[in-house]
Amino acid sequence: MSTGRQHSESRAIPTRTVLINDTTQLPHDYCTTPGGTLFSTTPGGTRIIYDRKFLLDRRNSPIAQTPPAHLPVIPGVTNRNILSENKKNEANNANNHDGKPAAGEDAQFEMDI
Amino acid sequence: MATSEPRAAETEEAPADSPVPAVVSAEQYVKHPLQNRWALWYFKNDKSKSWTENLRLIAKFDTVEDFWALYNHIQQPSKLGFGCDYCLFKDGIKPMWEDDRNKLGGRWLMTLSKQQRHNDLDRYWMETLLCLIGESFDDASDDVCGVVVNVRPKGDKISIWTSNCQNRDAIMTIGQQYKERLNLPVKVLIGYQSHDDTSSKSGSTTKNMYTV
């Protein structure tokens, strides 16, 4: 088509890494749908990074206490027995094995029972 | 419609000295978006079926809380049967070498001793998952395709799959930060192997392209 066209120089989209340790630090212009899962970043926007402690803290979220909807039944993987078994093990792990359990993890589990 | 309104019970359980208990409670129902949507797969070695028939999608998630809702309600790797795998991959990437996003790639491979099944496997697996969903490898996180745990009689394996075995910088970043995160002793080495080498190997060992 246009033979005398000038090609502009290309370069990578600049990105910036921002550590987020708390919800209050989420960018104010970040999008979520109510109760939903649609999010957007703009080019040159942020990478969503969560540190270990923040992720572990969220394990006790009320949302995380019920299995996902439409979880398939797979014998030995997702059946009912496993659910209660996991909770028992977690309590033990927090006490005995895991060197760095999330603070208050035990208390939260006891509250749920 | 289900909403995220906190129930009265939660509000009452908030500490008495909390200035705004209602707000604190509502906060508990917030979902935190992940950079990527992830798919968890389960593989069961049933010899009467083909490899792909044995591979089953368990669930997908794209928030921190939905990750835990899944994790809290599935079996730990140490309790799976021999020959079973879990695979967590970015949505759109199949947990197999043949996928376009995997075929030029390889994996950081950690082989565990039999004893480690009871001591370390579940702990390492959870740490690995947190590394992936939390995007712990900075920009090298873009090279991550997924992670696989193989439960095997001879010793279990955890491997982080990346997209291109020539991307030395990204691969080294991932390997070094992963090793640090798992708190592995300096003398314990983990190796990176290309899928090409792994699939075409003749003996029982595949050469390492990189080690940390």
Query: What is the secondary structure of B91-123 as a DSSP string?
Result: TT--SSTTSTTTTT-EEEEEEPPTTHIIIIIHH
Yes or no: say if B137 and B173 are a contact pair by the CB < 8 Å rule.
yes
pLDDT at A9: 77
Helical residues (DSSP H) of chain B, grouped into ranges: 8-13, 21-27, 64-71, 116, 122-133, 168-181, 195-200
Residue A52 burial (CB < 10 Å; 0-12/13-18/19+)?
middle
- Structure-block tokens of residue B17: 């000295």
Is a pLDDT exceeding 70 seen at residue B137?
yes
Residues near B83 by beta carbon (within 8 Å), at least 6 away in sequence:
B44, B45, B151, B152
**In chain A, whose CA is at the least distance from the CA of B75?**
A77
Does the pTM exceed 0.80? no
Partner A, chain B 23-42, Cβ-Cβ below 8 Å: 27-35, 42
pLDDT 10s digits, A28-79: 555 554 444 444 444 445 789 999 999 999 999 999 999 998 899 998 899 6
Interface of A with B (CB under 8 A): 15, 17, 23, 26, 30, 32, 35, 37, 39, 47-52, 54-56, 58-59, 61-68, 70-72, 74, 76-78, 82-83, 86-87, 89, 93, 97-98, 111
Q: Residue A26: pLDDT band by 50, 70, 90 thresholds?
A: low
Reading the block at residue A97, the tokens are 């094995």
Q: Rg of the Cα trace of chain B?
A: 20
* Nearest CA-CA partner of A111 in A95, A92, A93, A91: A91
Mean of the pLDDT values across residues B52-59?
A: 94
- pLDDT for position A11: 75
ipTM of predicted complex: 0.84
Contact status, residue B33 vs residue B63, Cβ threshold 8 Å: yes
Nearest to A17 among B56, B80, B138 (CB): B138
What pLDDT score does A100 carry? 43
Is-contact A62 B66, C-beta < 8 A?
no
| Cα(B79)–Cα(B76) distance, integer angstroms | 6
Which of B44, B48, B74 shows the shortest CA–CA distance to B59? B74
The whole-angstrom distance between A10's CA and the closest CA on chain B is: 19
Q: Which two tokens stand for residue B163?
A: 């997209």
B64's tokens: 């921190």
For residue B183, the 8-state DSSP code is T
Helix, strand, coil shares, percent, chain B, to 5: 30, 25, 45
User: To which H or E segment does residue A75 belong?
Assistant: none
For tokens 């942020």, what's the residue?
A: A46
User: What is the strand order of the sheet B33-43 is part of?
Assistant: B55-63, B33-43, B85-90, B144-150, B157-162, B106-111, B191-194, B210-211
Inter-chain CB proximity A97 and B119 less than 8 Å: yes
Q: Judge contact between B210 and B105, C-beta under 8 A.
A: no
Q: What whole-number distance in Å separates Cα of residue A72 and Cα of residue B181?
A: 32
Please tell me the total number of residues recorded for chain A in this structure: 113
- Please report the pLDDT score of residue A90 as a whole number: 59
